[in-house]
């Protein structure tokens, strides 16, 4: 039995990484610079990611401070953050932009949990697709006599163990985010 699960493992790792990135962007009651990762600013004639034109730091539990590298971009940065519809407030003091996070309502928390669940389901779908691809590859190798029928069944068990482990890790990631959003 000689089957390489590298491609399957790479797809699973990518799904976990994607979910973690999506969860970093989901706003909880605390200020997290990652929420601004998707914001693009019109600067120097093109759209640039916020982190390429400014420093983003945590000022306190519910406030981020955005310090532009170039003071001329202050209004553009404020406009970009406001236009991103992140549910945050912005204010400028002439040198920095402060991004304030309002207290989360129960209704908003429930919406965020639903979004987190949908992201979890997308990641699980990726795992299922990777499993199906690996299983088809195993069956094809059996047809071409590269693997035996016995190998096929033991590989199917191994594949299922890897799928179960991946789904368990994705579930833990969701539960951790859910707990963070409800605190």
Domains 6-24+105-182 and 30-100 share a fold: no
By three-state DSSP, how is residue 58 classified?
A: strand
The pTM of this model reads: 0.69
CB-neighbour burial class of residue 138 (10 A; exposed 0-12, middle 13-18, buried 19+)? buried
CB-neighbour burial class of residue 68 (10 A; exposed 0-12, middle 13-18, buried 19+)? buried
What is the DSSP track for 34-53?
Answer: GGGTT-EEEETTEEEEGGGT
Quote the pLDDT of residue 154.
Answer: 92
Whether 15 shows a pLDDT value over 90: the answer reads: yes
**Of the options 3.30.1360.40, 3.40.50.300, 1.20.1260.10, 2.40.50.140, the CATH number for the domain spanning 30-100:** 3.30.1360.40
Quote the pLDDT of residue 166.
Answer: 96
* Tally of residues, the chain: 183
Quote the pLDDT of residue 44.
Answer: 85
Domain spans, the chain: 6-24+105-182, 30-100
Quote the pLDDT of residue 12.
Answer: 95
pLDDT tens sequence across 32-76 = 787 787 788 888 888 888 888 999 888 887 888 999 998 888 899
Q: How many whole angstroms separate alpha carbon 180 and alpha carbon 131?
A: 30
Q: How many whole angstroms separate alpha carbon 33 and alpha carbon 99?
A: 10
Q: To which residue do tokens 């069956």 refer? A: 139
Architecture of domain 6-24+105-182: Orthogonal Bundle (1.10)
Quote the pLDDT of residue 138.
Answer: 92
pLDDT band at 27 (very low <50, low <70, confident <90, very high): low
Which percentage of the chain shows pLDDT scores above 90? Answer: 38
The DSSP secondary-structure symbol of 4 reads: -
pLDDT tens sequence across 87-126 = 778 888 888 999 887 777 788 788 788 888 998 999 999 9
- Residue 26 near residue 177 (C-beta atoms within 8 A): yes
* pLDDT, mean over the chain: 87
By three-state DSSP, how is residue 117 classified?
A: helix
Q: How many whole angstroms separate alpha carbon 125 and alpha carbon 50?
A: 31
Quote the pLDDT of residue 175.
Answer: 93
């Amino acid at each position: 039995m000689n089957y390489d699960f590298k491609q399957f493992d790479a797809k699973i790792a990518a799904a976990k990484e994607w979910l973690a990135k999506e969860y970093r962007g989901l706003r909880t009651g605390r200020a997290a610079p990652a929420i601004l990762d998707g914001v693009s600013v019109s600067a120097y004639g093109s759209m640039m990611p916020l982190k390429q034109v400014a420093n983003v730091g945590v000022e306190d539990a519910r406030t981020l401070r955005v310090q532009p590298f170039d003071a001329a971009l202050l209004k553009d940065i404020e406009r970009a953050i406001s236009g991103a519809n992140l549910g945050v407030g912005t204010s400028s003091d002439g040198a920095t932009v402060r991004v304030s996070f309002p207290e989360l309502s129960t209704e908003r928390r429930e919406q965020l949990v639903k979004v987190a669940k949908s992201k979890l389901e997308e990641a699980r779908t990726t795992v299922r697709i990777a499993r199906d691809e690996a299983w088809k590859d195993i069956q094809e190798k059996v047809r071409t006599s590269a693997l035996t029928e016995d190998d096929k069944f033991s590989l199917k068990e191994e594949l299922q163990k890897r799928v179960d482990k991946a789904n368990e890790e994705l579930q833990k990631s969701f539960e951790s985010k859910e707990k963070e959003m409800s605190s």
